[in-house]
Structure 1
Amino acid sequence: MNRSTRRRLTAAAMTVVAVATGTTACSSGSGSTSAKADGGAYTIWDPYPQFDKSSDWAKLLDDCGTKAGVKIKRTAFDTSDLSNKALLAAQQDNSADVLIVDNPVVSTLAEAGVLTTTDDNKLDTSKVDPNLLAAGQSGGKTYGTPVGANTLALYYNKEVLKEAGVDIGSVKDWKSLTAALAKVEKAGKKGITFSAIGTEEGSFQFLPWFWGSGAQLTDLDSAEAVSALSLWKGWLDKGYAPNSVLNNTQTTSWQEFASGDYAFAENGTWQLAGAKKAGFDYGVVPVPNATGGNAAAPTGGEFVTIPVQGDTGRYATSQKLVSCLTSSENLLVTDTTLSYVAPTSEVQDKQVAANAELKPWVDAVKAAKGRTSDDLGTKYPKISEQLWKAVQSALSGSKSPEDALATAQSAAK
C-alpha cells in the first residue's frame, strides 16, 4: 500500500466516524484488530454482535465456509467500531477477507482504497435492485452487494384514525396527510411523532420529506427543500406534532407512538416486533410525496464487501463466500432474521408471500435511495450535518425554514 493510500486512509478515518449511523439497533461488541486467521482460515467481520456462535447467522457463515472449502473466523463489532477497525486493518495490510459494513460507509472505504470493485472480484450484482445497489457505488464503480435493506414508512394506529373519521386510503400526499392530522387533533388525539434530533437520525428521518418535495442534497436551500421543512414546522406550530421531536431519537419517538395516543409515527422496519406488542391494531403506509406517490426514503442496511488484500489469490474464495451469503436462498433466511427487506425482487416476492404485512415495506424499499447515492460519497456527512442543524433551527423557532436552509447550504459548500 503506497503513501498516498495511507494518507487517504488517515483522512477517511474521521469521515467514517461522522457517517456511521444508529439507524438500526445493535448491542456493543468487541473483537481483535487482527484480521488474518491462523491455519489458512478466512476472516469475516460483521456488525451483528447480537448474534452469538449458536445463532443461525453464525451457522450460515460456517456453512458457506464449508461449501467454499475453508474454515471461517468471524469477529462481530459495533457498527461504528467496525468501520474504524477496517480502516486500521487496511493501513496495516491486514484486512478481513469479507467485510460487512453499514451502507453509507462503503463510499468512504472505497475512496480510501480499502475495497475491491465488483469488476475486480467478479461478484454478480445483476439481480440487485439498482436503487439499493447505488448506495455501494462511487465514481461509476460498485464496491459490494447489499445483504438487505431497511427504510422508513408511516405506522398508523387504526383505532385513533377511526375515532377521528380518517380513512387511511385518503392519505395520498402532504395535503391529505395534514388534513388527517387536523381531524385527529380535533378529535382530541395526537397527530404524528418522529425524530428530528440533531444527529444523523434527524437527517435520516427528514430525508423522505426532503426528497419527497423534489429537493436534492446538493441544493439544500431550494424552494422544494424549504417546503419540506415548512411542512414539519407547520405541524409543530399547529400542535399536530409534539415539541419532543426536537430531542426524540427513533427509539423515544417509537415509545410515544406505542403509548397508543398518536395517529402516526415515522419509523422503520426494525420496529415491527415492537408494533406487534403494542396492544393495538396498526398499519403501515409509505411516506407520501408532496403531490402523491411514494417518497424516496433513505436505505439502511449493510453491504457485503471484499477488502483489498496483499495476497490477491484470496479473492476467488472470498467471492465464493460472498456469493453464498447473498444467494437467494440465504438472503430469505438472513433478511427475515434481521427484519430487512431483501435487495432483489425475487426474494422480496417470497418475503411477501410468507408475510403479507411486509408489502408496504417492500414498496417503501423499492422507492428508497441511499444517502450517498447521486455520487455524493464522502460529501454526504458534511451535508447531513448541516441539514440536521437546519431542521433543529427551524423547528426550535430560532430561524425561519428559509434562513435555516440558506445557512446550511452555505456551510455545506
Structure 2
Amino acid sequence: MRNTRRTLLAACVAVGTLASVTACGGGGSGSSDSTGKSATYTFWDPYPQFDASSNWGKRVAQCGTSAGVKIKRTGYDTTDLGNKALLAAQQGNAPDVMLVDNPVVSTLVEAGILNKTNDLGLDTSAIQKNIIGAGTIDGASYGVPIGANTLALYYNKKILTAAHVDPASIKDWASLTAALKKVKSAGKKGITFSAIGTEEGSFQFLPWFWGAGGDLTHLDSPKSAAALSLWKQWVDEGLAPKDVLNNTQTTSWQEFATGDYAFGENGTWQLANAEKAGFPYGVVSIPGRNGGSAPVPTGGEFVTVPVQQDTARYDVSKKIVTCLTSSESLLASDTALTYVAPTAAVQAQQVEANPKLKPWVEAVAAARGRTSGGLGTKYPTISQPMWTAVQAALSGGKSPEAALDAAQTAAGKSKG
C-alpha cells in the first residue's frame, strides 16, 4: 500500500476539512516493551461528547482490559479526526485502533494507511451490504462497522397538537413548510437542524438534496438549488433559527430538547436523549420534495486498524476490534452509542428490547452511502464545497444558485 508523503498530503487535502495541511494535528502510539507489545494502546474515535465515565468510555476500557492492555482513548470532532489520522500516519505515530466516519475510509485507504480486515483475520460476513459497502474498496473491506445510523425528523407532540398540525399530514416540502408556519403563528419555533461548515452540515443537508433529486456530481443543478432555497426560506422567514449556521448535531438537539421547537432533524443516536426530554415526541421520515420519504445518508463509523511499523501490535489491536464488533459484543457497543447494529441478528435483538427502534432499522436498511455510486474518495472534495455553499446561502452572502455554481467549480466537475 502507498504511504508516501505526497500521497498523504494529497489525501489530507482531499478530506477537505481544515484550512491547511499543517492544521492536521499529530498523535502517538502507546509505549512498547521489549516484546514489541505495549501496556498502552492508543484509540481514537469521533465521540468527544463521551468521557471516561460514559457507557461508551467504559465499553472501550473494558475491551482494553479483556485484551490485557490499557487503552488511551482520545475523542476528536468527526471532521478533525480524519485530518489528524493522515498526518499521524505520515509521521509514523498512527493510533493502534481508530473509529472513522464511513466516507473517510476510502480516503485513508487511498493514502495507504489502513489494513484490510482479511489480512487481520476479522470476519465481516454478517454485516449488511449497504453498510459494509462504505468501507469496501476494490472488493476488500478496510474496517468493521461499529453500527449505523441515519436521519429523520423528531417532533414535539404538544407543540403540534396546540398548533393543530397532524404529523401524518407531513407528506412533502409544502406540507412541512405549512406546518412550520402554523407553529410559528401559535407562538412556537419551527425546525432546527445543523448547517455547520463541516461534514455534519453536509450529512444533514443530503436528505433535502437527494429528496429534490439532486446529484452529487452536479451540485449546480436546479434540483440542488431547490433544496438549498428551501433551507434559506425557512431561515429568512424565521421558521428555522439563524444559528443553524453554527449548530452541530449535538447543539441542534439541545435546541429541540428545550421544548420550544416543533421539529428537529437528528439521528438514531438521540433516542435515549429523546426519552429524557420531558415532553412527548414522535418521529417521521424526512419528506421528499414532491412526496414520499427522502433518501437519507448512511451514518456510522468503521473500526479500523491503521498500518503500524511494529506489526506485532496487530494481534492486540484485533482483539480490541473483535471485542467491540463481534456478534456477541455488538449489542453492548451499539447500546452504548445508541446506534443501529450493522447485522440483522443484532438488529432483531435491539427491536425486541426497544420497539421504537423499528422504523430506524428500516431506514438504515434503505439508506444511501455518501461514497456510493462510484464516488469513493471524490466524496470529500464534493462535500466541502457543498457545505460551503450552504453556509454562503444561509448567511446571505450568495444566492443559492450562485453558491452552488461556486461549489460545482470548486468540486472540479463539469456542469450538467
Superposed pair shares fold, TM > 0.5: yes
CA shift, 1:303, in A, is: 0.9
Unaligned runs of 5+ in 2: 20-24
Q: Contact conserved, 1:157 with 1:283, CA < 8 A, in 2?
A: yes
Q: Which residue in 2 is equivalent to 1:25? A: none
CA shift, 1:162, in A, is: 0.9
Q: Contact conserved, 1:294 with 1:367, CA < 8 A, in 2?
A: no
- Which range moves more in the overlay, 251-260 or 331-340? 251-260
Q: Which residue in 2 is equivalent to 1:26? A: none
In structure 2, give the amino acid aligned to 1:74: I
Q: Which residue in 2 is equivalent to 1:58? A: 61
Cα distance in 2 between the residues matched to 1:406 and 1:396 = 16
CA separation of 1:247 and 1:51: change in aligned 2, threshold 3 A: closer
Q: How far does the alpha carbon of each residue in 1:75-123 deviate from its partner, in whole angstroms, 9 at most, with x for none?
A: 2123356545544554465655543333232222111111122343343
Q: Contact conserved, 2:60 with 2:71, CA < 8 A, in 1?
A: no
Q: How far does the alpha carbon of each residue in 1:187-244 deviate from its partner, in whole angstroms, 9 at most, with x for none?
A: 3332211122333332222111112222121110123212211222232344322333
- Which range moves more in the overlay, 307-316 or 170-179? 307-316
Q: Which residue in 2 is equivalent to 1:37? A: 32
Cα distance in 2 between the residues matched to 1:31 and 1:378 = 22
In structure 1, give the amino acid aligned to 2:62: K
Q: Contact conserved, 1:137 with 1:375, CA < 8 A, in 2?
A: no
After TM superposition, list the pairs within 5 Å mapping 1:33-182 onto structure 2: 33-35=28-30, 37-38=32-33, 39-41=35-37, 43=41, 45-47=43-45, 50=50, 52=52, 55-63=58-66, 65=67, 71-79=68-76, 83=82, 86-88=85-87, 90-91=89-90, 95-182=94-181
CA separation of 1:242 and 1:102: change in aligned 2, threshold 3 A: closer
Cα distance in 2 between the residues matched to 1:193 and 1:215 = 22
- Which range moves more in the overlay, 73-82 or 103-112? 73-82
After TM superposition, list the pairs within 5 Å mapping 1:8-407 onto structure 2: 8-16=7-15, 18=17, 33-35=28-30, 37-38=32-33, 39-41=35-37, 43=41, 45-47=43-45, 50=50, 52=52, 55-63=58-66, 65=67, 71-79=68-76, 83=82, 86-88=85-87, 90-91=89-90, 95-310=94-309, 318-319=317-318, 321-407=320-406
CA shift, 1:300, in A, is: 3.5
CA separation of 1:16 and 1:78: change in aligned 2, threshold 3 A: farther
In structure 2, give the amino acid aligned to 1:57: V
Unaligned runs of 5+ in 1: 21-29, 66-70
Q: Contact conserved, 2:107 with 2:377, CA < 8 A, in 1?
A: yes
CA shift, 1:62, in A, is: 2.7
In structure 2, give the amino acid aligned to 1:56: R
* Partner SS, residue 110 of structure 1: helix
Q: How far does the alpha carbon of each residue in 1:337-376 deviate from its partner, in whole angstroms, 9 at most, with x for none?
A: 1121111122112111111222233233223334333343
Cα distance in 1 between the residues matched to 2:395 and 2:82 = 33
Q: Contact conserved, 1:32 with 1:75, CA < 8 A, in 2?
A: no
Identity %: 62
Cα distance in 2 between the residues matched to 1:245 and 1:98 = 33
CA shift, 1:311, in A, is: 6.2
CA shift, 1:286, in A, is: 2.7
CA shift, 1:153, in A, is: 1.7
Q: Contact conserved, 1:295 with 1:368, CA < 8 A, in 2?
A: no
Q: Contact conserved, 1:101 with 1:302, CA < 8 A, in 2?
A: yes
In structure 2, give the amino acid aligned to 1:393: A
Cα distance in 2 between the residues matched to 1:401 and 1:85 = 32
* Partner SS, residue 358 of structure 1: helix
* Partner SS, residue 188 of structure 1: coil
CA shift, 1:179, in A, is: 2.9
CA separation of 1:316 and 1:335: change in aligned 2, threshold 3 A: same
TM-score (structure 2 length as normaliser):
0.83
